[in-house]
């Protein structure tokens, strides 16, 4: 196996695109070192790319791809829902290694942070074909192309809520549900609900018809839950049946709307 530690994202991407070899980015290594990890011919370590900082400017928080989940939890400027999601990540050892870039790109079957980032309408800075560009997180997740350099959110522009269900404190989450929306004259705009753990891929549901244009305190929770569940694929896994998961998601939606109605 070859090992590289490039200093620029463009350099890293060039090595990744070398033909005929399985070239893999190495961030915190929590997925790569796991029992089901794929073998690689080349490891491209991202640690020297200078993507390890959080910065705030113009109301935006820019989180470099190699910032760890623990650093996000500890950073004083991390908005509450994101800090809460980071803190509920499995034990401190994993949080200290796992990065936000690996969370976005890793495709793990359940995620604490992704639903929250989607609820915030996060944007990514990526390096693709030697060029830096910006793209929406949701769009990127459809194609997963390029090196993720940073994740940006604008916390002031959206109200975000998150709920997480775990079987034990040191376990992966079973279901993570996040909701995000803007408020115009006290009325909900551009609402989205993201659910991780229901099936293999994160589900993103636009619930416009159920809540858009209403005040948070006026939402019919039963109707909102039905709208979400109708569009949601839910599968059994070793921890819970699809039926149990649906009940947890319903409970999350009710708790989120209780919290939102205090706005």
Ligand X SMILES: Cc1cc2nc3c(=O)[nH]c(=O)nc-3n(C[C@H](O)[C@H](O)[C@H](O)COP(=O)(O)OP(=O)(O)OC[C@H]3O[C@@H](n4cnc5c(N)ncnc54)[C@H](O)[C@@H]3O)c2cc1C
- Residues forming the site for ligand X (CB under 6 A): 24-32, 34, 46, 65, 89-90, 94, 97-99, 101-103, 105-106, 108, 111-113, 147-148, 172-173
| Token duo for residue 179 | 């909701």
49 in Cβ contact with 9 (< 8 Å): yes
User: Which residue's CB is nearer to ligand X, number 99 or number 227?
Assistant: 99
We find the least distance from the C-beta atom of residue 182 to ligand X, in angstroms, to be 26
User: Which residue's CB is nearer to ligand X, number 189 or number 237?
Assistant: 237
Q: What distance in Å separates the CA atoms of residue 27 and residue 46, rounded to the nearest whole number?
A: 6
User: Which residue's CB is nearer to ligand X, number 12 or number 260?
Assistant: 12
Q: What distance in Å separates the CA atoms of residue 20 and residue 42, rounded to the nearest whole number?
A: 11
We find the least distance from the C-beta atom of residue 221 to ligand X, in angstroms, to be 26
We find the least distance from the C-beta atom of residue 102 to ligand X, in angstroms, to be 2
User: Which residue's CB is nearer to ligand X, number 166 or number 215?
Assistant: 166
Q: How many CB atoms lie within 10 A of CB 200?
A: 11
User: Which residue's CB is nearer to ligand X, number 167 or number 263?
Assistant: 167
User: Which residue's CB is nearer to ligand X, number 95 or number 246?
Assistant: 95
We find the least distance from the C-beta atom of residue 210 to ligand X, in angstroms, to be 27
We find the least distance from the C-beta atom of residue 56 to ligand X, in angstroms, to be 21
We find the least distance from the C-beta atom of residue 117 to ligand X, in angstroms, to be 11
User: Which residue's CB is nearer to ligand X, number 138 or number 214?
Assistant: 138
Task: Please name the residues in contact with 141: beta carbons below 8 A apart, sequence gap of 6 or more.
Answer: 104, 202
The distance in angstroms from the start CA to the end CA of the chain is 54
CB burial class (10 A; 0-12, 13-18, 19+) of residue 235? exposed
| Token duo for residue 259 | 């919290």
Residue closest to ligand X, measured at CB: 102
**Residue 252 C-beta-side C-alpha neighbours within 13 Å:** 26
We find the least distance from the C-beta atom of residue 139 to ligand X, in angstroms, to be 15
| Token duo for residue 180 | 């995000």
202 in Cβ contact with 118 (< 8 Å): yes
CB burial class (10 A; 0-12, 13-18, 19+) of residue 126? buried
């Amino acid at each position: 196996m070859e090992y590289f530690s490039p200093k620029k994202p463009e350099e890293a991407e060039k090595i990744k695109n070398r033909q005929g070899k399985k070239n893999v980015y190495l961030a915190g290594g929590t997925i790569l070192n796991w029992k089901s990890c794929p073998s690689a011919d080349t490891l491209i370590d991202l640690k020297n790319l200078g993507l390890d900082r959080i910065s705030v400017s113009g109301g935006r928080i820019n989180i470099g791809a190699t910032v760890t989940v623990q650093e996000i939890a500890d950073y004083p400027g991390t908005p509450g829902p994101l800090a809460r999601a980071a803190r509920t990540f499995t034990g401190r050892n994993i949080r200290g290694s796992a990065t936000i870039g690996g969370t976005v790109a890793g495709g793990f079957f359940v995620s604490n942070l992704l639903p929250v980032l989607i609820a915030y309408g996060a944007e990514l800075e990526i390096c693709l074909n030697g060029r830096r560009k910006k793209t929406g997180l949701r769009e990127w997740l459809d194609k997963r192309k390029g090196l993720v350099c940073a994740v940006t959110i604008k916390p002031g522009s959206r109200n975000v809520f998150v709920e997480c269900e775990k079987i034990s404190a040191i376990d992966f989450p079973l279901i993570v549900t996040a909701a995000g929306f803007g408020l115009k004259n006290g009325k909900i705009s551009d609402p989205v609900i993201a659910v991780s753990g229901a099936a293999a891929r994160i589900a993103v549901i636009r619930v416009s018809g159920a809540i858009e244009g209403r005040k948070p305190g006026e939402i019919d929770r039963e109707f909102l839950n039905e709208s979400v569940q109708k569009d949601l694929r839910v599968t059994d896994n070793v921890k819970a049946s699809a039926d149990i998961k649906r009940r947890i998601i319903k409970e999350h939606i009710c708790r989120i709307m209780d919290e939102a109605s205090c706005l």
